[in-house]
Amino acid sequence: MPSYEFRCRSCGNTFEVNRPMSQASDPARCPGGHDDTVKLLTTFATTGRAAAPAVSAPAPTGGGGCCGGGCCA
């Protein structure tokens, strides 16, 4: 279940609420009992590691031009 971060405008407390995505926009009550809260924009980052190092392709050789040395007819 997704976690949404809110901030209370009354006391400045920042807190998280776990709820279904269908309720993402519903208001949340501050743990201090205040109703004046705003949903914060949160970021999500993933980390991982590559299975193999990236290998760059060799640079093309030859003429140039728009086709990398080929005949453009």
- Cα distance between residue 62 and residue 46, in whole Å: 41
- For 2-43, the three-class secondary structure string (H helix, E strand, C coil) is CEEEEEECCCCCEEEEECCHHHCCCCCCCCCCCCCEEECCCC
Tens-place pLDDT, residues 3-59: 999 999 999 999 999 999 999 989 999 999 999 999 998 776 667 776 656 666 666
C-alpha–C-alpha distance, residues 4 and 26, integer Å: 11
How does residue 1 score in pLDDT terms, banded at 50, 70 and 90?
A: confident
pLDDT value for 61: 66
Query: pTM for the complete prediction?
Result: 0.56
**Could you give the C-alpha distances from 18 to 8, 12, 40, in angstroms and in order?**
16, 19, 14
Q: What size, in residues, is the chain? A: 73
